Amino acid sequence: MIHVLYFAWLRERAGTSRESVETRAPTVSALVEELRARSEGHALAFSDLRAVRVAVDQKLASFEAPLDGAREVAFFPPMTGG
Amino acid sequence: MEVRVGPEAFDPGAELSAFVAGVAGAGAVVSFTGVVRGDGGLEAMEIEHYPGMTEAAIAGMVDQARHRFGLVAVRVLHRHGRLAAGEPIMMVLTAAPHRRAAFDAADFLMDYLKSRAPFWKKELGPGGSAWVAAKDEDEESLDRWAPDRA
């Protein structure tokens, strides 16, 4: 089980800020493919991955990152702090 | 506390005074305050963040800055939630033996906060709301601090 978090417009498109997912996806990319199938909103959120950043267990990661043992995966747009 | 993330408003003048009072003998103190712009009819800003990762990411930047620039003290404040035009959003304070290190450390921290701290801004105006897009120039600013450029 992995906790999936969404922020900013990914949250708005996916229609949720947090969900628990039963998955055996080996990588972030594989997880994204599974999430896309959850709803039209999810598919829209992940329609252009160039605009999406990911963190695995609160550390920035790539879409190729393995999910072995990961507990939390977050998706969000490029950050705009400061 | 070196890193403070929360919805509460803060007084930049009072923060600076308290910081200076706590770093007697540092030689140089630099502060930067980011404020919600009021141009284009912007009324307010909603700032979303990633609780937990935000604090850890900023703490990591602060550690890097302290070692890289030999800081005597450093503090980062960043708000989230709804902020009206004109309200301070965030503040970086650095103290070093000499001014160059204090300026550079504040500049470094600002560049990292812009693009590597998990905050997202949404602008609210008369015509509705829109997420602020990240700028290419913010990523380019970060490149300035790459090890081979140092």
Q: Is residue A27 part of a domain?
A: yes
Q: Is residue A82 part of a domain?
A: no
Q: What is the CATH number of the domain that holds A46?
A: 3.10.20.30
**What's the domain count of chain A?**
1
User: Within 10 A of B40 (CB to CB), how many other CB atoms are there?
Assistant: 9
Q: What is the pLDDT of residues A17-74, one digit of tens each?
A: 999 999 999 999 999 999 999 999 999 999 999 999 999 999 999 999 999 999 999 9
Q: Is residue A69 part of a domain?
A: yes
Of B53, B110, B122, the CB nearest to A82: B110
Candidates A17, A52, A80, partner chain B, best to mutate (most B CBs within 10 A): A80
Residue B51's nearest CA partner among B115, B3, B114, B119 is B119
CB-CB contact of B67 with B94 (8 Å): no
Q: Does B4 touch chain A (CB under 8 A)?
A: no
What is the domain range of residue A44?
2-76
Residue B149: its pLDDT value, please? 61
Q: What is the mean pLDDT of each run of 10 residues along chain B (150 residues)?
A: 94 98 93 92 94 97 97 98 96 98 98 96 92 90 80
Q: Is residue A46 part of a domain?
A: yes
CB-CB contact of B27 with B97 (8 Å): yes
Domains of chain B in start order, with CATH, are: 3-149 (3.90.1170.40)
What single letter denotes the amino acid at residue B83?
A: L
Identify the three-state secondary structure at position B85: coil
Task: Quote the longest CA-to-CA distance of chain B.
Answer: 50
Question: What DSSP designation does A51 have?
Answer: G
- All residues of chain A having their beta carbon less than 8 Å from the beta carbon of residue B131 are 8-9, 77, 80
Of A9, A60, A79, the CB nearest to B119: A79
- Site of tokens 């329609």: A47
